[in-house]
Structure 1
Amino acid sequence: MYNRKGILFLFMLIAFAFSFKSVHAQQPTLTLPGANQSQVTYDNQGRPIKRSKDSLTLKHRDQFEDSITINFKYFDSSRIHRLDSSISDFRAKYPLPYTYNDLGNYGTAAYSLLFKPYMKPGFDPGFHSFDIYQFTLEGTRFFQTTRPYTELAYLLGSKSEQMINLLHTQNRQSNFNFAFEYRFLNAPGTYRSQNTSHNNIRFNSFYQTSNKRYGIYFIFISNNLKSSENGGVIDEKKLDSLQLGDPYELQTRIGNGNGTSRNFFNTNIVTGTQYKNNTIFFRHYYDLGKKDSLVTDSITYKLFYPRLRLQHTFSYTNAQYIFQDYLPVPASYVAFFNYYNASDSVRFKDTWKNMTNELSILTFPEKNNLNQFLKLGIVFQSLKGQFDTIRDASLSNIYVTGEYRNRTRNQKWDVLANAQFYVGGNYIGDYSAYISLSRSLGKKVGTLEAGFQNVNRTPSYIYNNPTTFPVIMGKDFNKENTTRIFANLYLPTLQLKLTGNYYIVSNYSYFDNFFEPKQESTLFNILQLGGEKKFRLSRLFNWYTELYLQQPAGNPPVNLPNVLTRNRIALEGNFYKNLFLSTGFEVRYYTPFKPANYSPFVGQFFYQNEYKTANRPDIDVFLNFRIKSFKAFIRLENLNALNLQGSNVGFTHPNFSVDHYPGKGLWFRFGFWWSFVN
């Protein structure tokens, strides 16, 4: 059903999009009613200031400018960003980064090859295997644009894989903007019981009164993630001797019932996982401050400088986590997973409702710098959990928050510090503390950032609390404590970026098998270093390299590749007036290691110390191009799967990201991103 709607929706969008004119590389200029734009410009905080004589000089537009008429700020951030129209990296537009592995099909559960512990205090349900596919509050962009802007994207891959992306935003007035995003993903997959179907919706808006005293932020997010589960193939050695050359022939550990289907119109999940969540976020504030005015030759602008802000934030999330198997084979459950309770059907479902109210006060020490403020607040949280028809949970928390930001007006120093501390309720004693300091070393040198983060948190709810999911309850877990020390150095003249993270972890909670959580009380640490560099090999050829090094100490229950690298060598340039081209090959490689296994029944990647990867480097070739605002890519992926031995010659030697989960063979993808402005 969703696929039919998705295809119809795509054609409607294309027809709608042709009613817009394309746009490319224009500088944004926000206007006020009746403004004389020859005399007025705006500072980096959007306030009108008198234009200098030098700025009155006509400036020609740079045809290679990599920005368009939109700028935006991420949720709870003051830094201005511009949309990127570069075409060198397909992954920049793809939800799954190269640092992640999935289970062999786009949209299935995924894990990071880099160490990334969960570092948020307080309540957490514990289901994170599909986080990378979700829309989040942190990723919400608040736009400012002079005219309505629409971006349409479509991806088509092998085995009827498809993805649709839509973004539309516009300013109804200079003080009111809204944005709408929609993403649809459907991938039937290569193997049995592997189809995925994800729908993501996000709507957000911002409004500020004309006197600039009162403002409203609103965000609505809906994520509906559905993924069939097969538990892995039973005998992966048969990949080299398939009768029909089709991996769908292989029997899987679960999902072998009559309900399996490769029809890309079928989005039903007979055996698999479904995660749903809907979030409503509402923040409003009222400012007290000083009035001022700016007088030009013919117009007087009324200005307002806030000094004290009263702010209220409301958030509500309704989340469901489901695993179901309507056609289980009990013998397979026993043989492969040692699970004896499978009957006519299997279904686990947890539902959580999370409501928070925050009252806070902000002060702005300098009237001319809104990027410097001190915030203090208190948060009241109410949680309701429903596990089956007779079991539920009711939790509550009270915690205080504090935050200090200061981005100096000369933009040479940037300080960010925040903290949370739970003073009452079920998670009393949880806390987080974060501070970062960045320094601009000049346009020709770059920037340096260093910081510290410490989180003390109660393990996720699923680890040691009653739940519908078949988790073996153990002893009470202690609070996890994780410290992160980090530094980043960016040198634009060398086109070089260096990063470093040092983690110190105690009471680390993890799953040890398909159903049992454990906790490592011994302290351990992990050093993680990374670098990105662009080499100019010749006038037309560029080499992009990314490298990560990881080294654990203390024998932790965490297995990581010591080296992860991605390299792209591409022919790039502007070959005709409006044609920009990037074509070449891409190689990803990580050293052999013992990756986490996956439990579909509890939705967790778990520690194992037996299976070790022995993968070839992932090799892809690509052709990306841009003509004005139209960007397209063509990719042929997984050339490394070529098998020249035996009778079954072909792309039958895929890499494995998880034990019993083979990846894709040769894979073709085509897609485009098209921007329109009214």
Structure 2
Amino acid sequence: MTRLHILSLSILLFWFISPASAQLPTRIPQFPQGGNRTGGQPTTTGGKGANAGGAILDDSTKMIYGPKTTRYFLESDVFNNRKTLFAIDTTLEGIHQANYVNRNNNLYVDLGYLGTALRPVYYQTPGIGSQTGLSAYGLYGYQTQTVRYFDTRSPYTNMDLVLGGLGQNIINFDFTQNVHARWNLGFNLQRMTSDDLFPARVATNTGTQRLTENWNFVVHTNYRSRNDKYTLLAHYNNINHRSVDKGELIEPSDTSTVANTNLERKPVLTGAKSHEVRNDLHLYQQYVLDTAFQIYNTIDFRAQSYRFTDTELASGFRSDLDRKTFYPRVYFDTLETRQTTLFRLLENQIGIKGQFSTRGSAFNYRAWLRNRYYGYTNKFNVGRFLPDSSFKSSRLETFVGGWLGYYFPDSLTRATAEVEYLVGRDFRLQGRLESRLLTAGYESVFASPTLIQTRYISNMYQWDHQDRLSSRFDLRGTQHAYGQLNVKLGKLALSPGLDYYLLTNYIYFDTAGVPQQLSSAFSILRTSLEFRFSAGKFTALGQAYYTLVSNGDVLRIPTLLGNLRLEYNFLLFKKLYVLAGFQFHYKSAYYADQYMPLTQQYHLQNETRLGDYIMAEPFANFRINRVRLFVKMANANQGLFNQFYYSAPYFRTANRAISFGVHWLLFD
């Protein structure tokens, strides 16, 4: 191990044992046409390409190791027989997007602070088969399909540190190295913390009370045989997320007396906490008998546990509020509640696939059989001398499916179709056409309700829509047609799009937080526009969405949502590359859903309408050699003119704060 790696590990250890220790997530979604720290071939932003910043030199001053000698690929590339090795991204664009909401182009919302429960702004097509429905914290971890597998000529280290202001801190450490030319090993370690600015009690002298705390660890490996017939990809993923749950933050009656401070905001829940742990062991292997005939196998073992405790239950039934109490009722224990939900899944998929070419065209095909066996346990207040408060369920599910792809001779156009059927129940059909000018498709999905929608027993909620063999809720239907054009007009790139959804048997959580199924159908129409304009060193890029929902009583979506970023790049002192600008976000007013931490679900509310607002954030990104840095003023206009912006009902977005980040790549 080199001195640089010893120094790197020392820095990492220091940050992990300090109060400001944190984690940088692996998912960094792209702004329209923009760069990111994980994606694609790097582009130049005021630099000299992928090797900008120098490289390791040998005695003859030749550059040996750098971004071009460390490559990665995704499992989907191998699975679809189009394995591509991507170079490490060294661009400046987008590195200031340290917050998870920003990284997802504001298409998710949280409770105002890093690590709090997330939900998508727009409707998402559900997956088929039994799902838990517990997904509020899933995005804070590595996702199976985005785990990167490497092929390196030297040890590769990636370090990220973000000090987000107001106690919101993130750190990420990645290391990988080839054991030999065909076998690579590596790991990713992430840490994220957010301080509680509104504690129910005064913090003790042991330090600041945490609002959220997250650990995520992934160890990954990939191997291929000498003749490239056999390929193995595997990883183990552990997510450990803790959160202090406020329920709501009570505002003072006269907000003008508080101005831009937080001193008088108090939580409704004073003893509530949640803890989620996920473990995922994933293995993919394939054997190539012939290009046209390959055998593959995927094995997953997943374990998820969600524990919610409230040791001061009376605070959730406060009577001094001018609105309904936070909890709807209590069935057994009036002092405390301790809820546990456990989910275990073993999934095995085996299939055949292949590709063949004729007259410049190419065909891909897949056919598979997938078996899933899950166990689900729900219990509360065990040992509190209550009636039997637990239930268990399990099921074996069998899926059959097929996929077909046709690649046109121009190599830029392809058409794909996929069908999958859960025997006796769910169904999914998808078709898609992709070309240089147009992307269009259609999907039809009939999916079971989630496990938490079907049955739930707790101290405050109880419902049961489960028959002996199936749910009394009908299958949720989604018909989705979409299209997007890609138009280039000189220096302006435009991508107008259209999405149309027809939903049947839609399941939602009502104002009391209880699942209900709508018998009638309704539709969603969303138009969108992505653009990018570049002229010299100036760039403007953004997104805009306009959405109409035919039944706003059960699904609330802002009519307008927009993102805009203006940036300018230049060079200082012949070595310091700078990308500076402003970014803006806008949502129109709507009755956003409220969060219930007991069930980890967002539900309808009619009490408070979130006002429309424009959030502005100035930023500056820098690069010198292999080190990239950024400075950003997050939520710069929060509190100005006594205006406060809310990400969820009763939860303001964080006050303006200076955030700082550094990203360091090592290739030896």
For the superposition of Structure 1 and Structure 2, which TM-score range results when normalised by the shorter chain? Answer: 0.7 to 0.9
State the partner residue of 1:578: 575
Q: How far did 1:91 drift?
A: 5.9
Closer/same/farther in 2, CA of residues 11 and 184 from structure 1, 3 Å limit: closer
Whole-angstrom CA distance in 2 between matches of 1:95 and 1:466 = 30
1:619 counterpart letter in structure 2? A
Q: Which residue does the alignment assign to 2:218?
A: 202
Match of 1:174 in 2: 181
Match in the other structure for 2:89: 84
Q: 2:257 aligns with which of 228, 241, 262?
A: 241
| CA offsets 1:554-613 (integer angstroms, 9 cap, x no match) | 445111111111122222223443322111222111111111111122111112234211
CA contact (8 A) 2:503 2:522 kept: yes
SS at 1:127 equivalent: coil
Could you tell me which of 540, 547, 551 is aligned with 2:548? 551
Cα deviation code 1:112-157 (max 9, x no counterpart): 22x1324200010111222321221122222333333221100012
How far the C-alpha of 1:521 sits from its partner, in A, is: 1.9
Matched-pair contact (CA < 8 Å) for 1:104–1:661: yes
Q: Distance in 1 between matches of 2:20 and 2:456?
A: 44
Give the root-mean-square deviation of aligned CA atoms.
3.2
Is 1:219 aligned to residue 230 of structure 2? no
TM-score (norm 1): 0.79
The reply to whether residue 312 of structure 1 matches residue 297 of structure 2 is yes
In the TM superposition, residue 88 of structure 1 has moved relative to its aligned partner by 2.9
2:50–2:90 contact (8 Å) kept in structure 1: no
What secondary structure does 1:462 align onto?
helix
The one of 478, 481, 489 equivalent to 2:477 is: 481
- Per-residue deviation at 1:253? 0.8
* 1:675 match: 665
Question: In the alignment, is the contact (CA less than 8 A) between 1:360 and 1:375 conserved in 2?
Answer: yes
TM-score between both structures, scaled by the size of structure 2: 0.80
Show CA shifts across 1:500-547 (max 9, x none): 3221111111100343111112111112222222234x6443322321
What is the distance in 1 between the residues matched to 2:666 and 2:243?
A: 33
Q: How big is the shift at 1:481?
A: 0.6
Contact kept, 8 Å, 1:349 with 1:468, in 2: the verdict is: no
Q: CA deviation at 1:437?
A: 1.6
Query: Does 1:284 find its partner at 2:291?
Result: no
Are positions 1:323 and 2:275 aligned together?
A: no
Percent identity between matched residues is 19
Match in the other structure for 1:107: 115
- Identify the residue that residue 33 of structure 2 maps to in structure 1: none
Deviation at residue 404 of structure 1 after TM alignment: 2.2
Task: State whether residues 361 and 408 of structure 2, in contact with CA within 8 Å, keep that contact through their aligned partners in structure 1.
Answer: no
Distance in 1 between the 2:616 and 2:647 partners?
Answer: 15
Superposition map of 1:130-149 within 5 A: 130-149=137-156
- Which amino acid in structure 2 is aligned with residue 502 of structure 1? Y
- Paired residues of 2:241 and 2:277 also in contact (CA < 8 A): yes
**1:531 equivalent among 525, 529, 532:** 529
Match of 1:44 in 2: none
Alignment of 1:418-497 (within 5 A): 418-423=418-423, 428-440=424-436, 447-468=437-458, 470-473=460-463, 476-491=472-487, 494-497=492-495
2:50 corresponds to which of 17, 25, 29 = 25
How far did residue 92 of structure 1 move?
5.2
Letter in 2 for 1:549: Y
Residue 577 of structure 1 aligns to a residue whose secondary structure is coil
The 1:461–1:125 alpha-carbon spacing in structure 2 relative to 1, beyond 3 Å, is same
Find 1:95's aligned residue among 97, 100, 110: 100
3-state SS in 1 of match to 2:266: coil
CA distance in 2, matches of 1:366, 1:469: 61
Equivalent position of 1:381 in the other structure: 372
Residue 160 of structure 1 is matched in structure 2 by 167
2:636 aligned residue (636, 639, 655)? 639
* Equivalent residues of 1:474, 1:518 under 8 A apart: no
How far did 1:9 drift? 12
Please give the residue correspondences for 1:601-612 in structure 2 after superposition, counting only pairs within 5 Å.
601-612=598-609
Residue-by-residue CA offset, 1:32-83 (whole Å, 9 max, x unaligned):
xxxxxxxxxxxxxxxxxxxxxxxxxxxx99xxxx974444333323363444
Q: 1:407-450: per-residue Cα shift (whole Å, max 9, x none)?
A: 45752222333221011xxxx3201122212123xxxxxx4211
Q: Is the 8 A contact 1:514 1:601 kept in 2?
A: no
Counterpart of 2:411 in 1: which secondary structure?
coil
Seen in structure 2, the aligned counterparts of structure 1 residues 641 and 397 have a Cα distance that, compared at 3 Å, is: same
Contact 2:615–2:636, Cα closer than 8 Å, also in 1: yes
Q: Deviations over 1:372-410 (max 9, x none)?
A: 431111112111122237532121111112122344575
Matched residues in 1 for 2:168 and 2:376: separation?
35
* 2:341 corresponding residue in structure 1: 350
2:353 matched residue in structure 1? 362
In 1, are the aligned partners of 2:96 and 2:631 still within 8 Å (CA)?
no
| CA spacing shift, 1:367–1:535, aligned 2, 3 Å | closer
Determine the C-alpha separation between the residues in 1 that align with 2:297 and 2:464: 40
Mapped to 2, the partners of 1:406 and 1:223 lie a distance apart of 38
Instruction: Classify the secondary structure of the residue corresponding to 2:134.
Output: coil
Name the count of aligned residue pairs.
582
Judged with a 3 Å threshold, the aligned counterparts in structure 2 of structure 1 residues 555 and 522 are, in CA distance, closer, same or farther, namely: farther
The one of 550, 563, 566 equivalent to 1:566 is 563
Matches within 5 A, 1:15-94: 25-26=50-51, 68-77=68-77, 78=82, 80=84, 81-90=86-95, 94=99
Q: Match for 1:282: what amino acid?
A: L
Measured after TM superposition, the shift of residue 345 of structure 1 is 2.5
Distance (whole Å) between structure 1 residues aligned to residue 169 and residue 302 of structure 2? 29
Q: Which amino acid aligns with 1:6?
A: F
- Provide the residue aligned with 1:303 in structure 2: none
Distance in structure 1 (CA, Å) of the matches to 2:396 and 2:267: 43
- 2-side partners of 1:654 and 1:570: how far apart? 26
Partner secondary structure for residue 247 of structure 1: coil
Q: What residue number does 1:599 align with? A: 596
Q: Is the alpha carbon distance of 1:465 and 1:413 closer, same or farther for their aligned partners in structure 2, counting shifts above 3 Å?
A: same
The aligned residue for residue 57 of structure 1 is none
Q: How does 1:648-663 map to 2 (within 5 A)?
A: 653-663=643-653
Task: Report the residue type matching 2:563 in the other structure.
Answer: R
Report 1:409-420 matches (<5 A). 410-420=410-420
Q: CA, structure 1 residues 380+410, in 2 after alignment: closer, same or farther (shift >3 Å)?
A: same
Residue 110 of structure 1 aligns with an amino acid whose one-letter code is L
Partners of 1:523 and 1:467 in 2: how far apart? 29
The more displaced of 488-497 and 557-566 is 488-497
Question: How far apart are the structure 1 equivalents of 2:237 and 2:185?
Answer: 14
Structure 1: distance between partners of 2:182 and 2:361: 17
Q: Deviations over 1:180-213 (max 9, x none)?
A: 2221110014333670011112222221100122
Asked whether the equivalents of residues 190 and 664 of structure 1 are also in contact (C-alpha less than 8 Å), the reply is no
Conserved 8 A contact 1:585-1:620: yes
Distance 1:410 1:250 in 2: 61
SS at match of 1:135: coil
How many Å apart are 1:286 and its aligned residue? 2.1
Task: Report how far residue 10 of structure 1 moved.
Answer: 10
5+ residue gaps, structure 2, are 1-11, 24-47, 53-61, 201-209, 320-324, 383-389, 466-471
Kept in 2, the 8 Å contact 1:333–1:339? The answer is: no
Contact 1:284 1:311 in 2 (8 A): yes
The 1-side partners of 2:194 and 2:225 are apart by 45
Describe the shift of the 1:67–1:609 C-alpha distance in structure 2 as closer, same or farther (beyond 3 A).
farther
Partner of 1:38: none
Deviation at 1:24, TM superposition (A): 7.0
| Amino acid aligned to 1:314 | I
